[in-house]
Structure 1
């Protein structure tokens, strides 16, 4: 895991925390192809598609932790082809908090959203 992305778990299996410090790391984690958007979160925990999870997201230099809920829409298991990082892609729920987070992410990424560079998921 890079210095730019740090993941920490909690006692609850459904709680994930992600701090993204660099724009490139945000690009790698963001999943714009999901309805409502989503993020890939490195995790060694076992999740199933459809699992409800709660996240605390910290973006760039902003110290505020943004609470958002979602469902697991992508699972990259350990030992995946192409040395892809183990973790889960979480589709944001359709609510105000998720909409604000998606807009903030897309504002930070700007034209990078049109890039064809590979990400953690595609």
Structure 2
């Protein structure tokens, strides 16, 4: 009895139980109004960030691919960020369950952050409660 190799070089299928490299989750978030943007934006993160409501389990540091739509802006903002915040189900003060996605320091993260801060303007200095702090 002979054993044949499997995998990409053998022409035979690889072991389906072998661990696969983790691919970032893709999440989509459409912000329809300024109050919702204010509540979701995380200006205290170094590069800015966005709270994304979700009941999927994530860990801090997980890579996330976020497709962000902002109100009447026809542009979509694709952001390859990382989970920096987790609000679990049943959190205090009835906070929405979800994750905070930290924007990257690259051009896509900066573009999204600048556009959000342009929309929010003076509201950034408000003391109103948000989804995070």
Q: Pick the TM interval, shorter chain.
A: 0.7 to 0.9
Q: Could you say which residue in structure 2 is the equivalent of 1:102?
A: 113
Provide runs of 4+ in structure 1 moved above 4 Å: none
Name which one, 1 or 2, has greater alpha-carbon Rg: 2
Query: 87, 91, 113: which is aligned to 2:98?
Result: 87
Structure 2 gaps of 5+ residues are 1-22
Number of aligned residue pairs: give it.
111
- Secondary structure of the residue aligned to 2:30 is strand
Coordinate RMSD, CA, aligned: 1.1
- Secondary structure of the residue aligned to 2:46 is coil
TM-score (structure 2 length as normaliser): 0.81
Instruction: Identify the structure with the greater strand proportion.
Output: 1
Q: Could you say which residue in structure 1 is the equivalent of 2:32?
A: 21
Q: What does 1:26-45 correspond to in 2, within 5 Å?
A: 26-45=37-56
Structure 1 gaps of 5+ residues are 1-11
**C-alpha deviations, 1:68-116, integer Å up to 9, x for none?**
1111010001111111000000100110011011000000000000001
